[in-house]
Structures are given as structure tokens and as C-alpha cells.
Structure 1
Amino acid sequence: MPQFDADLLPIVRRFEAAGFRAWPASSVHYDGTWVVRLTAGHPAKRLNSINPLDPGDCDNLTERIARASRRFEAYGRPTTFRMSPLGGAFISAYLDQEGWSRFSESVVMSIDLSAVDLDNVLSQIPMKDMARFISAAMTVHDFEPSIRPGLSEIVSSIEPESGLFLLEDDDRPVASAICVHDGDLAGLFEVATFSGERGKGHGRRVVLSALKWARLRGAKIGWLQVEASNTVALSLYKSLGFRRVYDYHYRQPPK
């Protein structure tokens, strides 16, 4: 993992807080500065994880992890830490010592919207019909039908202004994205292109349309989260001008 600059911690805190608001869990508990997020209707790790938000908050780890684990067990979820730079070295060392696995390395990226040429980008009006958008997003992502109620609940619970973007070809959904406008930030979530339509520029089009919509509303910084193994998406975002800000990963106890 690249060396992290501690001076960026305030920026990390800002993006982490924006991420919580943009993709809300149905149940949130606090243990000190740990945010324990759980969502019965959706299995996504970021919605079902322990998120330490202060590198110095690392007392009584055994007791606190056991307490959090009981919450995860009640939800039928594996106890999972989401470790951003705010997790700190002490908790990471403890989890290493206890044999916790490390997986799903992800990258948080951002872009200065004033530096992006959006003048010739299609001005797309976000969808107002959430049910139709959810149906289309389910198709684009190839989600299991069981995900639909949870995804609908999450999208309807987003408090900042959000835009639901969909590209269609002959009335078939080919790409989708959710853009959350939060102050001067524009967060991109659930960006995807249908498997049979990749490589045709649909992802680029939907991302640029979403960013143009957000910039017209006053957003100055675009940001997103992407798995480090998703080389196609990383290549797209880098070509648009997104740059890495920090990384995070997940940890789970030995089975």
C-alpha cells in the first residue's frame, strides 16, 4: 500500500463522513469514535462494517470487538472492519496478531470539477421514477432479486440531493450511476455498465453527465470509491482526471 500522508487525515474524515451520508446504513451505533453500520436488507460490506474514525481510539479492543460482534451476529453478518487511514496502525497490528484476514482493497479518488471539460457533455436530467431506476440498476448490475428491497431502502434514505442517472439503448438499460450532491462534493455511487455493453463508452458518458449535473448545482469536487482490482474502472477514472486520495480495506476474523 502507498505511504499515507498524515496531513491528509482531515480530508479523509470529510470523505468518510460524506460517504456515510450518501450511502446510509439502516442501523448505526457508536462505540467511542467507532461507527458500527449494519443493514439487514443489503449485504454490502460498507453497509455492514465497523469504521474506526480516530487513530488514537484504540483502548479495550478485545471487549469492544466482542461487543460489536454480538451486533453482527444478531444481523447474521460476519464481523467486519472497514479500515481507512483513520483506523490507525495500532488496530491494524492487533487484527494482524489475531489472524484477521485482509481483503477488498479499495481506492478513494477525487477530481477538481473546475478542471474538467464538461461543456460538450450531454446534459442529462436525473430520473424521478425511483422504482424504474431501481429496476434498471438491478439489470445493469445483474443483482439477485433479493437485493431489490434493500437497495430501494438505501436510495430512498439518501438525505443529500441525489441524481439517478440511466443510459438506455433501444429502451434497454446499459449504464447507471447515482450522484450525491453534498455541499461542494459530488459523490458517485453504484456506477456500472451492463456486461454485454462494456467497452462502448457508456460508463464514461454516464459519469460525465452526473458530474455536469452536480457542477451546475455548485459541486466543486467529484469523488468515488472503487475496488483496486477493478482495473477497467480505474483506467476510466484516471483518464477522466480522477486521482487517488487514500485507500481502505476490510478485515474479518479467522473462521
Structure 2
Amino acid sequence: MATTGAERGVENEAVERLAIIRRFEAAGFRAWPATSVQYDGTWAVRLTASHPAKRLNSINPLDPSDDRRLGERIALAARRFKAYGRPLTFRISPLAAPAIPAHLDAEGWTAFGRSKVMRLVLSEAALASAVDQIPLKDLNRFVSAAFEVHGYEAELRPGFTEVVSSIKADTGLFVLEQNDVSVSTAICVHDGALAGLFEVATAREHRGKGFGKRMLLSALKWAFTRGARIAWLQVEENNEAGLALYRALGFEEIYSYHYRRPGQEG
């Protein structure tokens, strides 16, 4: 039976959507680099001995058709994760073959860490209210501010510093201060036409005062003047304050992903 025009249109839309997702997935890997990346077929196995973040220590399937020998490949990955002292973790995006989450379900794995990837088309109009801000050159000062704002544990500092210093793209480190106290931080990674936002946070006692919006607009203006035309970020689904801010700025969801671990509580 011949394919109809409508069916071809649906197929083309699906192909285009996967191409868009691949673009942002690749940008995410470049912007937040793991220290070790190995490939098993089209699975990117990312591991980082110096930092426990799940996005730096996860299996990332990148082709919906790659679902061969699941048990064997997962067992191989498990040995790698064990050698690094990291829990075996899958990151499931729309690029993962449907057979993978089905297999993990059957094996008793559970989902957690559901997040959205969002984007915003940048323009002079969208950034009209942005205040010019020069990003920090002092990595140590930024890390200190980020740890203060996020409330990160001190033992994570060496690994966090290593990850940030490993970013190869043009990177803006932004800190907004109030009365000499750090209230908001963000990392903006300018990668060609894309500007990725990472480690966005406002100190709990200063939330709801507009500091986060002001800082983000400044970071995006910095990237826009360097040629970025699309901003993007990742935000956990339960981060209601963050989602409200990003949506108010005009960000729209592109796709979502989540993590899986054996026996992990969701």
C-alpha cells in the first residue's frame, strides 16, 4: 500500500523532531562534559570519578533503533559503573529505543529525576530589559558563590570546579550580588547559535525578588551579543518556581527525559 501524503508528513515531523533533540543532547554533552565517555553502539556511557551528578554518570541511548542485546550490554555497563563507584543509571530521552524502558520495567527498575528541556528564541526585543553584566573571570570566586547559593556540600567542590573548567565552549560565569552577598548564580555556555544555561539558582532567602530573572537576562544578552540565537536549559519537573520563571521569560518545552536505576525509589 502506498504511503499517503499525510503519513509522509507525520514521518517527516518525527524525523525533524529527533534531529532537534539530537542537537540539544549533543550541546548538553559538550556544555557539561563527563571525564570519560565510551560508546557501546549508539549508547554514550558517561562517567566522572570526581563528581557524582547523575547527568555526568549515566548511560545515554541516542538512537531509537538501537535495542540489541540489552541484557548483555547493561551487564557490561554495570561493570564500568562499579569500577567508578557509581550507581548504574540510564538517562532515558526520546532518543532511547522504546524496548529499553520496557526491559528496565521488566527488571524492576524505577524512574526518578524527571526533567524538561526548554528553549527560547533570542531577539533584541526579548532582551530589551536586560542589564549589561560582565561575567566573572575568577573561577574560584564563582565556585564559592555557587556553593553558597546552592548550598552544595564542600566535598563536591573539587569535582564541580573540574567540570566547569573542562567546558571548552565560550563560558560566562554570572553572579548577582546584593549588599556584597551572592544571591543568584548561573553558567551560560555559548556554543555557536546556542546558549545553554546551567547551575541556575537563587538563594532561598532571596527568591521571589526578581534577582533570578535579572541575572538570566544579563547572561542571555551576553550570549546574544556573541551570536547565540537560541537559549536552552534543563529543569526538573518538580521545580515549580524555576518553571514559572522560565515560562515567564518565554521558554517553551522541547522534550523531557528521566533517569532509571535498579530498585531506585521514584
**What's the TM-score, normalizing by structure 1?**
0.96
Distance 1:5 1:246, change over 3 A: farther
Question: Among residues 140, 147, 150, which one is paired with 1:141 in the alignment?
Answer: 150
Which residue number in structure 1 is paired with residue 132 of structure 2? 123
Question: Among residues 4, 7, 15, which one is paired with 2:24 in the alignment?
Answer: 15
Which residue number in structure 2 is paired with residue 94 of structure 1? 103
Give unmatched runs, 5+ long, in structure 1: none
State the distance in 2 between where 1:22 and 1:88 align: 24
Which residue number in structure 2 is paired with residue 69 of structure 1? 78
Shift of 1:90: 1.1
Shift of 1:74: 1.0
Q: Is 1:165–1:178's contact at 8 Å kept on the other side of the alignment?
A: yes
3-state SS of 2:116 partner: strand
Q: Is 1:116–1:241's contact at 8 Å kept on the other side of the alignment?
A: no
Question: Among residues 171, 175, 186, which one is paired with 1:162 in the alignment?
Answer: 171
Shift of 1:92: 1.3
> Which stretch of the first structure deviates more once superposed, 4-13 or 189-198?
4-13
Which residue number in structure 2 is paired with residue 110 of structure 1? 119
**Is 1:205 paired with 2:214?**
yes
Shift of 1:116: 4.7
Give unmatched runs, 5+ long, in structure 2: 1-12
State the distance in 1 between where 2:175 and 2:62 align: 34
Please list, as runs of the form range in 1=range in 2, the aligned pairs for 1:15-94 lying within 5 A after superposition: 15-94=24-103
Question: Among residues 244, 248, 258, which one is paired with 1:249 in the alignment?
Answer: 258
Which residue number in structure 2 is paired with residue 240 of structure 1? 249
State the distance in 2 between where 1:39 and 1:146 align: 15
Counterpart amino acid of residue 169 in structure 1: Q
Please list, as runs of the form range in 1=range in 2, the aligned pairs for 1:216-227 lying within 5 A after superposition: 216-227=225-236
Distance 1:238 1:115, change over 3 A: farther
In the TM superposition, what whole-angstrom CA distance separates every residue of 1:61-85 from its partner, at most 9, and x where no partner exists? 1010000011111111110000000
Counterpart amino acid of residue 20 in structure 2: I
State the distance in 2 between where 1:34 and 1:233 align: 30
Shift of 1:5: 5.1
In the TM superposition, what whole-angstrom CA distance separates every residue of 1:104-160 from its partner, at most 9, and x where no partner exists? 110000010027521331100000000110011010100000110001000100011
Question: Among residues 239, 243, 262, which one is paired with 1:230 in the alignment?
Answer: 239
Please list, as runs of the form range in 1=range in 2, the aligned pairs for 1:174-185 lying within 5 A after superposition: 174-185=183-194
3-state SS of 1:114 partner: coil
Counterpart amino acid of residue 131 in structure 1: N
Which residue number in structure 2 is paired with residue 171 of structure 1? 180
Distance 1:174 1:251, change over 3 A: same
Shift of 1:246: 0.0
Max radius of gyration: which structure? 2
Shift of 1:254: 2.3
Shift of 1:7: 3.6
3-state SS of 1:24 partner: coil
In the TM superposition, what whole-angstrom CA distance separates every residue of 1:181-216 from its partner, at most 9, and x where no partner exists? 000000000000011111111111111111000000
State the distance in 1 between where 2:258 and 2:157 align: 26
**Superposition CA RMSD, Å:** 1.3
State the distance in 2 between where 1:101 and 1:116 align: 43
**What's the TM-score, normalizing by structure 2?**
0.92
